[in-house]
Chains A and B, each alone.
Chain A
């Protein structure tokens, strides 16, 4: 067992699961989407990105790219949330909630790609 690999896989999967948890629910219902879940998803996603820094393999580069995409989507979602609630007085209307959740859906896709890549890499290397 390799501690670094466990750590790495843990954060990548956690980023995926948290993202999925936030995404789950009616798309325009604010009651189904918790702000702390988005916060946790963003934090774990950033940690996963940092863990991938400095990887020089081809697959490592693709992992980093996927992670950066997920970060970008989640930061966009968080920004939309903050702007809707604090900057303008729109509040969490169904339309705003829908766009936040769909942005996190994009991040989810990127995280799925990350998880698949890690699985592929592990499968090809461990023999």
Chain B
């Protein structure tokens, strides 16, 4: 389907009118000829005298014959000459009508017309957006996960996707709030502008298509056309990642590299990996508990980008790696190679599966990966087996194959992107946490597990500032003390705490991990919390309502109106006077 090359103002009406020009001209001419003929041909009245139809009568006769209604010959019976003309005019006007109506209907049913109509509708819906939105470029597995997670938190998203089927898949799902999906090519900057790139509410651009080149182009366009926007880009190769970084892409997410990092983390500090897994997961999905990957010999089947990232990282940390692949150009030093395929038992034997501790099947083909998993299971039922799942739809197969760890690049990328979007402090928290010892990690993991109640918790940042939390700042400027504990109190029961955990406090240049709950807040503080979605909502509610905040702080209900406040002041001063007396 041809796409509009540049934005035009309301082309739909113009399209209809342009196409209706000829049919309307034909109709007008037919009517004019018929009317003229009737008014010129002489007839006879009931006295047998010559009588000519006036233009008014002629128009009347043509109107009812043209629309095939037909009342008979009025006001006087027609002469033969008039009847002859009536025959001509009936065929002429009826055919002209059919042609005009047919043209109108075919215009209305034309797919190009529908596309134009749909585009206008979408552009209006984007122009009407008056709150920050994320532009998601590419609606594959990653895009779908992102859109779902964004809308679940009440955020707005606009999708740009070149594939009609994916757009239809998106429209089949009910997203609240509505997600406008544009059938546009993200590689074309003009299309990005149509989708609202220059809109002042477009806060972030998420380039998560499957293609590195496309993501690079999106990132470039976003940085040039809307420099204020936050650009998060997916990159599969390190070349692209460096290229993106060179012109200031805000965040580059390399799913493979990140997985390798996480795998090593899981091997070396499993408790921190659990925390990492939970805090960056997609909120409200099941809290995963995965078996710990062993610190031993690894067999990696398939040396694609994922296999490369994993073998490099494991190798550089002193873990023995054997790669099984049919075609490998150059491996990192110290990595053993077996030429062949992981799907065949003899090649796995050659790779030393008998002595191995773990296996990762990571080709780009799900059938090959599953076959490798099943072959390896037969050879070594006790082996730790991890497999890459390329397409989300194959999930049931991987679950049935009972892999210990399923690598879903789309999930890894989307969870990384979400962590950046939702809680910008999360990454600095996780970096700091790496420096702590294993007991600290374990304690944190247990606390999160306790409050999360089997679901992945949400993480959120709280900035104590006049713009974000005016009520809290008013309170602090009035000289009142507000501690972290006060924010975490449950409005329904002041003595109970909400199911949330303060993770990080950023005050000036100081960062404080796991701040104590009796810490007094100051203007300018940045806080990172994790907890249940309900606790997040509750906290924001208390931060918006001065009376509620006062109650949480002091335990006293503040009287709402002026009269009640005066009464209370008078009463407390009288009580004080009585005590003194």
Contacts and interface: CB of A to CB of B under 8 A. Distances in A.
Interface string A25-60: 000000000011001000100110011011010000
Interface in A84-100: 85-86
B21 A39 contact: no
Contacts of A50: 21, 24-25, 28
Given A39-B36, A43-B32, A53 B54 contact: no
Contacts of B35: 39
B56 A54 contact: no
B55 A35 contact: yes
A116 interface: no
A86 B18 contact: no
B20 A53 contact: yes
Contacts of A53: 17-18, 20-21, 24
A82 interface: yes
Interface string B2-23: 0000000100001111101100
B17 A86 contact: no
A85 B54 contact: yes
Interface string B36-62: 100100000000000000111100000
B56 A81 contact: yes
Interface in B402-455: none
B25 A47 contact: yes
Given A39-B36, A54-B14, A86 B24 contact: no
B14 A56 contact: yes
A35 B35 CA distance: 13
Contact of A54 (B21, B25, B39): B21
Interface residues of B, number: 20
Chain B at the A interface: mostly helix, strand, loop or mixed?
A: helix
Interface in B518-565: none
Contacts of B16: 54
A32 B246 CA distance: 83
Interface string A79-122: 00110011000000000000000000000000000000000000
Nearest to B16: A54
B54 A54 contact: no
A51 B21 CA distance: 6
A85 B56 contact: yes
Contact of A46 (B21, B28, B36, B57): B28
Given A35-B54, A82-B56, A47 B28 contact: yes
A85 B36 CA distance: 18
Contact of B55 (A39, A46, A54): A39
Contacts of B14: 54, 56
Nearest to B40: A36
B70 to A, nearest CB: 21
A86 B36 contact: no
Contact of B17 (A43, A47, A54, A81): A54
Contacts of A36: 36, 39, 55
Contact of A86 (B32, B39, B56): B56
A86 B9 CA distance: 47
Contacts of B57: 86
A50 B18 CA distance: 9
A89 to B, nearest CB: 14
Contacts of A54: 14-18, 21
A47 B21 CA distance: 9
A81 B20 CA distance: 30
A28 B24 CA distance: 35
Given A53-B18, A54-B18, A54-B21, A86 B54 contact: yes
Across the A-B interface, give the 7 residue pairs with the lowest CB-CB distance, nearest first: A54-B18, A54-B17, A82-B56, A53-B17, A43-B32, A50-B24, A54-B14
Given A51-B25, A56-B14, 7 more contacts: A36-B36, A36-B39, A50-B24, A50-B25, A53-B17, A53-B24, A54-B16
13 contacts: A39-B32, A39-B35, A39-B36, A43-B32, A47-B28, A47-B29, A51-B25, A53-B20, A54-B17, A78-B55, A81-B56, A82-B55, A86-B56
